[in-house]
Amino acid sequence: MENMNNIQPIMWSNKSDKYEMNISTFTKEKTSEHHIMIAPQGISNFYEQYQTLKEALLSFILERGKEQCKLIFQRVFFSDITNQSEIISEVDMLKDNEIESTIAWVQQPPLNHTKCTLYAYLIESEEEMKVDTSKAPHHLKIEKAGYTHIWSGKLTSDKNGSSYDQTENIFAEYHRFLESEGFQFAEMCHRTWLYVRDVDTNYQGVVEGRNDYFDTIGLVPSNHFVTSTGIEGRDLDVKKNVLMDAYAVKGLEKSQIKYIHALSHLNPTHEYGVRFERGTAIDFGDRRHIYISGTASIDNKGQIVHPNQIILQADRAMENITALLKEVEATPKNIMQMIIYLRDVADYSIVERYYNEQYPNTPKVIVLAPVCRPGWLIEIECVAIKSIHNPMFKNF
């Protein structure tokens, strides 16, 4: 009899003369999850590149069957979002086919010689799943098996001002939205991505704004924080210093959530003045979702390891991620997707070669996005899924 706890993600590719699509699929108990990276190939024109991304994703959905395969979240990494913004709004292939999702845009130039690269997350299930797109493209709600998930994207402040003011405003507005949907921010939001214009200047305001807001809702060192990435990234509106994406789940028991620390390799983030979890694992009856924050070359005293040595920093960052995964009985083989952030474009070739050798089949994208501390040359985040069997909890 098959050991259901040994089910691993399947990695596969779909290539054409116009694009390359790398896919990881985890399937168990009649429900599959797909994490996809799509990059255009052999096209120089931005309009055609972006249209190709949408067409490729639409083709995948229609092939799987749009009644069963639901697009949940898509993030597009753009090279020059200000100049590309008008074309972005023109190319809306998915809406024309009545397929909508949360859409996140960010200027983080892909370093794969394209003007745009697409990451998408899809759920394919034979079981009942209600997808509410009424608040798309900023929010998408999924109800399945007694859980309610909300994926949110392109959240910005409705007020201009400093990165501190905008961060507080974004969290406050997102908090109010969650409450309107019957969610509690402090216990149900499990992942955020904070993109910061000119991170070397504005990141401290983001840190202070988040810290002060978390104080008001009880997210303090004695409790817990939220798994997060804070990185350079730009919205198309030049007045926006901060942009946020987020993920929240309702219907979990506390015993289904574990915050991951890997104290042998990493120190608690509050020790150097920031508030985020290194990682969060969420157990369902049939699988464990693992969200790993942006992770750099750091030791358990909060010090940078291997200054000015890009490959050694890449290796240490993955060692830290491996330690985080091990704490929840997972390994890098469980990783479904990786996003790799570089400070210096000159490091791309050597980093690409390293990750293609070490993790050849894992869907990934490398983007130009300075990390929040100048000495960190690279940061990596990932999502992993591990098969489990826990009859105490409802399946995903």
The model's pLDDT over 124-183, given as tens digits with 9 standing for 90+, comes to: 999 999 999 999 999 999 999 999 999 999 999 998 899 999 999 999 999 999 999 999
What is the spatial distance between Cα 283 and Cα 392, in angstroms, rounded to a whole number?
10
Residue among 86, 73, 84, 85 nearest 114 (CA):
84
What is the spatial distance between Cα 43 and Cα 65, in angstroms, rounded to a whole number?
28
Mean pLDDT of 229-238: 95
DSSP states along 239-298: T--EEEEEEEEES--GGGEEEE--TTT---GGGGT---BSEEEEE-SSEEEEEEEEE-SB
pLDDT at 89: 78
Q: Is the separation of the CB atoms in 27 and 108 below 8 Å?
A: no
The model's pLDDT over 68-92, given as tens digits with 9 standing for 90+, comes to: 999 999 999 999 999 998 888 777 6
pLDDT at 6: 72
Q: SS3 string of 169-223?
A: HHHHHHHHHHHHCCCCHHHHEEEEEEEECCHHHHHHHHHHHHHHHHHHHCCCCCC
Question: Containing H/E element for 311?
Answer: helix 310-327
Q: Which structural domains are found in the chain, ordered by start?
A: 1-128 (3.30.1330.40)
pTM over 0.75: yes
Q: Is the separation of the CB atoms in 223 and 290 below 8 Å?
A: no
Rounded to the nearest integer, the mean pLDDT of the chain is 95
